[in-house]
Structure 1
Amino acid sequence: MPVADIAAAALRLLEPETAHDVALTGLRLGLAGRRQIPADPRLAMSAFGRTISLPVGLAAGFDKDAVALAGLSRLGFGFIEAGTVTRRPQQGNPKPRLFRLAEDRALINRMGFNNGGIEGFAARLAGADRTQAAIGANLGINKEGADPLADYPALVQAVAPHADYIAINVSSPNTPGLRDLQATDRLAAILDAIRAAAPGAPPLFVKLAPDLDEAVLPELVEMVIGRGVAGLIVSNTTLTRPDSLRGVARGEAGGLSGAPLFNRATRMLARVRLLAGDRLLLIGVGGVATPEQALAKFRAGASLVQVYTSFVYQGPAVLHRLAAGLSALLDQYGAATLAGLVGRDADRLAEIAP
């Protein structure tokens, strides 16, 4: 077993947030080594004005302060989304605030945007090597004293020269009132303020909650397209609790991620694809742990997928498994490219039970 896989197994013996901090330290110090991911040109996707050779990225929330980008890039991610970062540093919610539901292959978190603030984040982003992996910046607002119409534009201005794309986080369930910013009129005002302050910003994405009322999707999709948004990230964690959950922490407050989120997030992804067609680039996230699940996201309409919970449970090996498995699935389907399958199954997947 590779050293990185042994380390991932050992980390699971630690309390979840302690394990996360240890993993980040190891990545920052370059102790995780380098992974050679099988290169299959059939998997490549065009995004952020470049070619992403492996369209599997790391979701926001793992490297909130952009301290381990070099180490993460060496693992083979095609893109890495750092953050969520806020304008001012904040401690986040009281501990414990991160919980494993191992039986469910899930996590619950109520971290609360704990981060060191935009100043240090932007400086580290400026020094990052973006040739190995595309780097995105996920931006949010502080729990107290926030002014979304001023804060989001200022955050975008700070990272715009140093990121391949920017994600506007209006969907975390752990900052009171944040999800209210997904209302079409409020989100439109934020996007207008960003464009006025940073007209030359890199591609802009909005991250949505899986619990959003699907009735608002048609208006929301047309609004973001009309304002030049490059794409949507579907989706963040969910506040719902399926009856099937078995983990002892299932009653903890916070956002649920991992396997139980897969159907809900994939259904929303497919519905957004049916509304947007190819006018938006979609990033599918939520429950991706196997090549088959990754392929379902692509067939639902994603051009890129992200992992988080499966990275926690499987370690760096998840990237090799997804890359090799996707290549094998293309062989099985007789598909020339993965891009040719994007959105192919959106009609069916839009109807799966959440």
Structure 2
Amino acid sequence: MNNAIRSDSGHLSLFARDYRSDPDLSRQVHEVSAIKAALEQDTRVRSFAERIKQDGLAATAHASRGAVIIGMDLEKEEQHGRLAEYLQKGEFSFGKKGKGIILGFKLADTLRVRIGSKIILSAQDMHAEVASAAFRVTGILKTNNMGLDERAVFIDLNKMRKMLIVPEGVSQIAVIVHEQDQLAEVQEDLHTRFPDLDILRWDELYPALMQSKVIMDGFNMVISGMIFCVAALGIFGVILVSVLERIREFGIMLAIGTRFGLIRNIILAESFFLGLIGFVFGSLIGGANLYYFKIYGLDLSAFSDAFDEFGMDAITYAVIRPSYFLTAFVAVLLATFFSVLIPLRVLKKSNPIEAINKV
């Protein structure tokens, strides 16, 4: 998901009306200056990048393949999506004269090119004429976004304008915000200011990706629920044995007039501290493991070919969020509460005289 957001859509994408259904050069975003001014003044926006896109053909002496030609400003793209981090070979540059080309690693394999190889790009220009230009491969990317790795070629934005005769306007403006909680609000504000544009969130552009996220979140909730149920059973067993072993002492306390509510509070406190100690140690151990995998990642490079087929990283990095520990703390509180209900019921039903006579 993060790969798709960083390398392509951003959190928000601005297109000309109906561009998504008919991606033609005639459908361009022309209010670029006004949009840039609005985005630069919006403190909720972290970065944005303008791009021109056109379907075309990439050809070499060995092979040819349909490709999506993307004209972009490398400096802005680096600030926006840090694409240089995806560089597999070569350099993140279009060369001194801007005649370099950067492409996805799968497309590079299909065309059988390497750094320095010559590629001819052909596409329909603004006047519906076929335009061609020669470029040299300066970089090969592995974004794990299958659409880009298999079909995308990146060239300098100004070279794209010259090649396709597009003096102004862009096909897409991708926006990344600081906080995703503000995404709908930013989208609505932009809709109000620029009603003639299609402004789409990443989940609207990638519904399948959003669906997979929902499924994964549901799967994680089920697994977490099972883990906390096991923890609750553990606490239940400890508290039940603790109550049964001290049934005589509790019977004496009840016989001398101690209120059952006081005994209940003692058992609840014991249960709470048992859960709290487990939570603290579990958080320290779990937090240390998360931090390790956040820095070094879980290396599954042995299965990299399989991961590439699904557009996934072979090295997975952990994400640490306070919500993980807050959720765990609430779950532990609930587990400790419900785990003492049966032991308390057993104690309440016991007869103090019989309890005192127990050895």
TMscore range, shorter length: under 0.3
More helix by share: 2
Output the TM-score relative to the length of structure 1. Answer: 0.27
More strand by share: 2
Output the TM-score relative to the length of structure 2. Answer: 0.27
